[in-house]
Structure 1
Amino acid sequence: MPEIAGYRLRRVINHGGMSTVYLGEQIGLAREVAIKVMLPLALSDEVSRRRFENEVRTIARLEHPNVVVIHEVGRTREGLPYYAMPYLARGHLGQRDLSKDEPRAISIMETLLSALDYAHARGVVHRDVKAENVLFDDAERPLLADFGIALRRGFGPRVTAAGLAVGSTAYMAPEQARGEDVDGRADLYSLGVLGWEMLTGRLPFEAADALSMAVMHAQDPIPKLPQHLRHWQRFMNRALAKQPGQRFQDAAEMTEALADVQRSGFVHSLKRLMPRRNRLRQWAVPLWAGVAVAAVAVVAIGFGLSSAQDDEFFRVERAAAAPASAVTSPVAGDPTDAMLAPLPEAPLQRSLEEARRYIRLGKLTAPADGNAYNSLLTAWHADSTSPDVRAGVTELTRALGDQLAAAVRERNDQRAREHMLNATTLAQQTGSADSPAMRALREQAVAALQARIELDGKRNDREDAQRSAALAAELDLPKATSARLIAQAKAIGGLRAGETVAVGSLTQDNSRITVALSPRPVSRAEYARFASASNRSPALCRERASLLRVLAPRNWESPGFKQGDGEPVVCVSQADAEAYAQWYSQQTGRRYRLPTAAEAENLNDTPGRALSMWLRDCGRDCQQRQASGASWRSRQAQRPLAAARGYDDVGFRLVRER
Structure 2
Amino acid sequence: MTPTPPVIPGYTVHGLLGRGGMAEVWLATQDSLQRKVAVKLLLDSADDSFTQRFIREAHTVASLRHPAIITIHDIDRLPDGRPYLAMEFVGGGDLTQFRGHPLPPARALAILRQVAEGLAVVHDRGLIHRDIKPANLLCRDADQVVISDFGIAKDLRVDSELTQAGVAVGSPAYSSPEQAQCLTVDRRTDLYSLGVILLELLTGRNPYKADSYAQTVANHLHLPPPTLPPELRHLQPLVQRLLARNLDDRFPDCRTLLAALDRLPAAPRLPLAARLGGFRHRGWLFAAFLAVGLAAAWPSMARQVTLWRTLHTAEQHLQAGQLVAPARDNAQFLYQEALRLDPGNTRALQGLEQVKQARIAQWLKRAEQRFAENRLAQPANDNAVYYFGQVLTLAKDNPQARQGLQRIAAVSLGLAKDAIARHDDAEARRQIATGLLAEPSHAELKALREQRREPAKTKTDDAAPRKSAPKNSSPIKRFFKKLWG
Question: Displacement of 1:172 after TM fit?
Answer: 0.8
Distance 1:176 1:281, change over 3 A: same
Aligned mates of 1:271, 1:79 — CA distance in 2: 68
Distance 1:272 1:150, change over 3 A: farther
In structure 1, the partner of 2:231 is 228
Amino acid at match of 1:89: G
Indicate which of 20, 25, 28 corresponds to 1:24: 28
Q: Which sits farther off after the overlay, 119-128 or 173-182?
A: 173-182
Question: Displacement of 1:282 after TM fit?
Answer: 8.9
The answer for unaligned runs of 5 or more in structure 2 is 156-161, 285-485
Indicate which of 126, 130, 134 corresponds to 2:133: 130
Give the RMSD, CA atoms, in angstroms: 3.2
Question: Displacement of 1:220 after TM fit?
Answer: 2.9
* SS of equivalent to 1:170: helix
Question: Displacement of 1:219 after TM fit?
Answer: 3.1
In structure 2, the partner of 1:276 is 276
Indicate which of 71, 75, 95 corresponds to 1:69: 71
Counting only pairs closer than 5 Å after superposition, residues 133-212 of structure 1 correspond to structure 2 as 133-138=136-141, 140-146=143-149, 148-152=150-154, 168-212=171-215
Question: Displacement of 1:25 after TM fit?
Answer: 1.5
Counting only pairs closer than 5 Å after superposition, residues 64-463 of structure 1 correspond to structure 2 as 64-96=66-98, 99-138=102-141, 140-146=143-149, 148-152=150-154, 168-260=171-263, 262-263=264-265, 265-266=266-267, 268-271=268-271, 275-276=275-276, 281=281
Question: Displacement of 1:19 after TM fit?
Answer: 2.5
Greater relative CO (CA pairs within 8 A, separation 6+):
2
Question: Displacement of 1:270 after TM fit?
Answer: 4.8
Query: Does the 8 A contact of 1:25 with 1:32 survive in 2?
Result: yes
Counting only pairs closer than 5 Å after superposition, residues 402-551 of structure 1 correspond to structure 2 as none
Question: Displacement of 1:280 after TM fit?
Answer: 5.8
Question: Displacement of 1:22 after TM fit?
Answer: 1.6
Distance 1:155 1:73, change over 3 A: farther
Indicate which of 5, 22, 28 corresponds to 2:9: 5
Question: Displacement of 1:71 after TM fit?
Answer: 0.9
Query: Does the 8 A contact of 1:18 with 1:150 survive in 2?
Result: no
Indicate which of 5, 18, 26 corresponds to 1:14: 18
Query: Does the 8 A contact of 1:3 with 1:77 survive in 2?
Result: no
Question: Displacement of 1:279 after TM fit?
Answer: 6.1
Question: Displacement of 1:245 after TM fit?
Answer: 1.9
Amino acid at match of 1:145: S
Whichever of the two has the greater Rg, that structure is 1
Query: Does the 8 A contact of 2:163 with 2:184 survive in 1?
Result: no
* SS of equivalent to 1:105: helix
Query: Does the 8 A contact of 2:176 with 2:192 survive in 1?
Result: yes
* SS of equivalent to 2:269: helix
- Normalised to the residue count of structure 2, the TM-score between the two structures is 0.51
Aligned mates of 2:32, 2:103 — CA distance in 1: 44
Aligned mates of 2:244, 2:46 — CA distance in 1: 35
Aligned mates of 1:22, 1:145 — CA distance in 2: 15
Query: Does the 8 A contact of 2:53 with 2:151 survive in 1?
Result: no
Amino acid at match of 1:222: P
Query: Does the 8 A contact of 2:30 with 2:36 survive in 1?
Result: yes
Question: Displacement of 1:47 after TM fit?
Answer: 5.3
* SS of equivalent to 2:72: coil
Distance 1:209 1:234, change over 3 A: same
Query: Does the 8 A contact of 2:133 with 2:193 survive in 1?
Result: yes
Aligned mates of 2:251, 2:234 — CA distance in 1: 17
* CA offsets 1:116-152 (integer angstroms, 9 cap, x no match): 1121111121111111111122463111112x32454
Query: Does the 8 A contact of 2:199 with 2:206 survive in 1?
Result: yes
Query: Does the 8 A contact of 2:98 with 2:204 survive in 1?
Result: no
In structure 2, the partner of 1:376 is none
* Seq. identity, %: 35
Question: Displacement of 1:39 after TM fit?
Answer: 3.7
Amino acid at match of 2:92: R
Aligned mates of 1:114, 1:60 — CA distance in 2: 17
Amino acid at match of 1:101: P
Query: Does the 8 A contact of 1:155 with 1:177 survive in 2?
Result: no
Aligned mates of 1:239, 1:45 — CA distance in 2: 37
Distance 1:277 1:105, change over 3 A: same
* SS of equivalent to 1:234: helix
* SS of equivalent to 2:85: strand
Aligned mates of 1:68, 1:253 — CA distance in 2: 23
Runs of 4+ in structure 1 over 4 Å off: 151-157, 270-274, 277-280
Distance 1:273 1:235, change over 3 A: farther
Aligned mates of 1:245, 1:44 — CA distance in 2: 42
Indicate which of 55, 58, 77 corresponds to 1:56: 58
Question: Displacement of 1:91 after TM fit?
Answer: 0.9
Distance 1:78 1:181, change over 3 A: farther
- Normalised to the residue count of structure 1, the TM-score between the two structures is 0.38
In structure 1, the partner of 2:335 is none
Task: Report how many aligned residue pairs link the two structures.
Answer: 273
